[in-house]
């Protein structure tokens, strides 16, 4: 470690150990929109991917990303960019 105490203490607060600082860290982007049936399972899926990362000797961190609901944007000018259908 390089002595960046503030950042280091933040990671210790997450439960990381000294050995964890040598492991690859993987960001797992997941859409967070519980008002959309297509994304209801996304957070649980992200947690499972994080578990797989840990099993492979890495640290996985799910984080929320903007989500688009085709149901909400159908028929609107910008809605055509969400899915080609």
For residue 28, being part of any structural domain is answered with yes
Return the closest-CA partner of residue 31 out of 82, 84, 85: 82
Return the closest-CA partner of residue 30 out of 54, 60, 66, 81: 66
To the question of pTM greater than 0.75 for the whole model, the response is no
Average pLDDT in the chain: 82
For residue 13, being part of any structural domain is answered with no
Residue indicated by tokens 């609901």: 69
Predicted confidence (pLDDT) per residue in 4-32, tens digit: 667 888 888 889 999 999 999 999 999 87
For residue 51, being part of any structural domain is answered with yes
Confidence of residue 37 (pLDDT cuts 50, 70, 90): confident
Is residue 39's pLDDT more than 70? Answer: yes
Mean pLDDT of 22-50: 88
Higher pLDDT, 75 or 13: 13
* Neighbouring residues of 40: CB distance < 8 A, sequence distance ≥ 6: 34
Domain hosting residue 42, numbered range: 23-67
For residue 49, being part of any structural domain is answered with yes
In the chain, how many domains are there?
1
Q: 3-state DSSP helix/strand/coil percent for the chain, to nearest 5?
A: 45, 15, 35
Helices vs strands, H then E, count in the chain: 3, 2
């Amino acid at each position: 470690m390089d002595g960046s105490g503030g950042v280091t203490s933040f990671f210790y607060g997450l439960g990381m150990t000294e050995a964890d600082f040598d492991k690859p860290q993987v960001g797992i982007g997941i859409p967070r929109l519980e008002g959309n049936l297509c994304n209801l399972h996304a957070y649980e899926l992200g947690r499972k991917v994080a578990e797989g990362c840990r099993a492979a000797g890495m640290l996985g961190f799910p984080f929320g990303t903007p989500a688009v609901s085709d149901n909400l944007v159908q028929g609107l000018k910008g809605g055509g960019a969400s899915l080609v259908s």
